[in-house]
Amino acid sequence: MKVRTIFLSDIHLGTRGCQAERLIDFLRNHEAEKLFLVGDIIDFWAMKRSIHWTPAQNTVVQKILRRARHGEQVMLIPGNHDEALREYHNVAFGDILVANEHVHIAADGRRYLVIHGDEFDQVTRHHRWLAVLGDVGYNLLVRANVWVAWLRRTFGIADYWSLAGYAKRRVKRAVSFIFDFEDAVMHAVRERGLDGVICGHIHSAAIRDVEGMTYINCGDWVDSCTAIVEHMNGRMELLHSWQPAAASAANDGGAQSFATHSSLSSK
């Protein structure tokens, strides 16, 4: 399937939770003119504690480098887990450009701020120790989810369910974290006169209209395994990796292996 742009965030290479095999399947089935890596691609935080680097994670890196060499425009926008790369703003490593943020002009003319988003997270900005503690707890839930998935398969329960995702949604709903984050991001977008934002950071994939602007979150490749794609007409679509495709292939005339989660057509 050929699309205009792919947006991926929160891959967390170097960790046990990274779903590299699913990402390889996605990259194998989706070609693009542009690829944005929207932060937390390599998890330097986790790698300070321990490194879990698999052959599949090597393959992810190789596929991204190969796409850049073959003419796909690849931009890396660092997040808080790979914040060391922010020192290299506007520096190109081979065929990959590092930028702290970017304004992406879609095919329909809409302008999106592409940014990881951690600067709008008050916990990450002002209570780093608490953010690190929460990261450790989240990684423990991701590890426990491996056993939960095994038990569900053993008892013939085929549909996808995530212990980490469930706990994350319950906690963040209780403290209104996601809503506060979205409000802060959209306030910044409104002040800059842009049409929307494409971000990551909170591992909560979404495409949502907010008072005429568009909030888009790429999700992650630890728990939900989601990606944002821009079609040739500027339509933005959120794809999941864990169930067969249906609507997207029908809408755009191409076969693909990812399911349509949500989409937003050009206005």
- For 26-79, write each residue's pLDDT tens digit: 999 999 999 999 999 999 988 888 889 999 999 999 999 999 999 999 999 999
* Tokens 């990959």, residue located: 96
Give the pLDDT score at 241: 79
Q: Is 219 helix (H, G, I), strand (E, B) or coil?
A: coil
The percentage of the chain sitting over the pLDDT mark of 90, rounded to a whole number, equals: 58
pLDDT over 80 at 103, yes or no = yes
CATH number at residue 76: 3.60.21.10
Q: CA dist 135 to 12, 103, 121, 132, Å?
A: 11, 29, 14, 5
- Per residue in 223-261, pLDDT (tens digit) is 889 999 999 999 999 999 764 444 444 445 433 344 444
Structure tokens at 256: 């693909």
Domain interval for residue 183: 2-264
Provide the pairing of β-strand 91-93 with 96-98: antiparallel
Give the pLDDT score at 165: 60
- Per residue in 175-199, pLDDT (tens digit) is 456 678 888 999 999 999 999 999 9
Tell me the pTM: 0.77
Total tally of structural domains belonging to the chain = 1
DSSP one-letter string for 36-86:
EE-S-SB-HHHHHH-----HHHHHHHHHHHHHHHTT-EEEE---STTGGGG
Confidence of residue 170 (pLDDT cuts 50, 70, 90): low
Using an 8 Å Cβ cutoff, are 264 and 207 in contact? yes
Give the pLDDT score at 231: 97
How many Cα atoms sit within 13 Å of 134 on the Cβ side? Answer: 13
Structure tokens at 143: 């590890």
Q: Could you tell me which residues come within 8 angstroms of residue 192 by beta carbon, excluding any fewer than 6 positions away?
A: 113
- Per residue in 107-164, pLDDT (tens digit) is 999 999 999 999 887 555 544 434 454 555 556 656 666 665 656 567 766 565 565 6
Distance CA 124, CA 216 (A): 20
Structure tokens at 67: 């796409």
Q: Provide the b/e sequence for 63-94 (b: ≥16 CB within 10 Å).
A: ebeebbeeebebbbbbbbbbbebbeeeeeeee
Structure tokens at 218: 């790429």
